[in-house]
Amino acid sequence: MKCAVEEAEAGLREGGIPIGSVLVRDGRIIGRGRNRRVQNDDPVLHAEIDCLRNAGRIGSYAECTLYSTLMPCYLCAGAAVQFGIGKVVAGESVNFAGAREFLESHGVEVLDLDLDVCKAMMGTFIEQHPDLWYEDIGEL
């Protein structure tokens, strides 16, 4: 999760939304990403999608764990389900409940770490940039 937090912090420094993600297989990070919607003017470039793109084609994702600083939304949860990712670890779900039930209903193990660093980073961002946040979650 430390590396996902680093990705979120990098996104924030770039003027984007501070959500980071890493994909791990066999104890190794094989993909990293961050929400780049603002930076790339791309409505679907959420952190988990960026992470999967950066991991590239890896065949089976069944033995992978997807880490994200925030509970994945339905878009990103759908990607995890589509590719058969077995486990998702979220940094927090206080600022955004995400699609936990959807993931679990499709057999994905979900762990919410409830980390203060993730809650504080996202909470501060939402407070300072509500327009970007509500656009990101489709509630503008």
Residues annotated catalytic, as ranges? 48
Provide the CB-side half-sphere exposure for 88 (13 A, CA): 31
- What the block records as the tokens of 41 is 């003017």
Cα-only R_g, the chain: 14
Task: List, in sequence order, every beta strand (DSSP E) within the chain.
Answer: 20-25, 28-34, 64-68, 87-90, 109-112
SS3 of residue 123 by DSSP: helix
Q: How many residues does the chain have?
A: 140
